[in-house]
Amino acid sequence: MARSLETPVPPKPQATRAIDRVVSLANGKGGVGKTTTAANVGGYVALAGSRVLLIDLDPQGDLARDLGYERQTGREFFQALIAGTPPMILRDVRENLDVIPGGQDLEDIQGLMVSRSSRSGAGDFGDMLYAVLAPVADEYDLILIDTPPGERILVEGAFAISSAVVVPTRSDDASIDGVERIARRFMAVRDRNPSLQLAGIVLFGVGPRSMRLERSVRDTLEQMLGTVAPVFATRIRNLESASADARRKGLLFHELEGAVTEAQKTRLKALRAGEKPTDGFFSRNAGGLAEEYEQLTGEILARLNEIESGNES
């Protein structure tokens, strides 16, 4: 049943501004690794002992697949946004890792914002996000927002409260076009959030010698932003079997690595006993992806420290 959009508007905050250590992952095209990168980077930061909050702002709600929790509708998040109340948080999805789940009900935000735009004094979606997240932000060392590829209002709202943006991209032309769309949205938000920085570009699902792609991405963003875009040294390879296993099992890549190793032991034991092995995994080695995400996490954290130091000076 459709919900009425004639909901009382919460008071507009004095100003929408960046919240420290809030990072949006964005690209104007889907299927480029945003969700997988958010989940695995967040997982590694949490594994190191820091408190992490992942926010699924995508109506598809695919963080549930990467982390293995039950898929949600996003209704609780939607209701918190329109009421300006604390969000429902899934606690300890992993140790030190909490999630605000998304889902299909977040599609209603577009219509809600159209309704609010005609009201004098009503804030935009960035104001709504700020009102909901600012009270809980101090609980966390890092907040990662997984944004949808197409909803401009949701992406720009996330940028309005973020201190940095990470842009995963594949090598195809459509993905590069998606990077260009994100660059335009980035620039559209900079006037109201001047502290917003481009943390860097993640080359996702590519080979180890993608220098041509790196040059193309740099050129595109330099033309759009007037500055050189940092491209992270770590490239995430395309290992379809490991990626399929991770999502089917709801495991992060460092967890999948251990699960595959145990499955191999069980498989060998069954073969020795003359039994048919049934390990349920397509991949035989997920260690490479686990190592790459660990290295990427280190690069992203170093870049965030650099951005923070620049903002303080």
What would the mean pLDDT of 218-233 be, rounded to a whole number?
76
**52 has which bridge partners?**
97, 142
What is the number of H-type helices and E-type strands within the chain? 11, 7
Lowest-confidence pick of 16-30, 37-51, 76-90? 16-30
Query: 71-92 burial, b for 16+ CB within 10 Å, e for fewer?
Result: ebebbbbbebbbebeebebbee
Tell me which range, 8-22, 28-42, 205-219, is most confidently predicted by mean pLDDT.
28-42
Tokens of 131: 């009102």
pLDDT at 233 over 70: yes
- Angstrom distance (rounded) from CA 159 to CA 130: 11
Among residues 122, 30, 37, 111, which one has the least CA distance to residue 78? 111
**144 has which bridge partners?**
23, 54
What would the mean pLDDT of 262-273 be, rounded to a whole number?
66
State residue 8's pLDDT score: 41
CB contact at 8 A, 266 and 279? yes
pLDDT at 14 over 60: no
Global pTM exceeds 0.75? yes
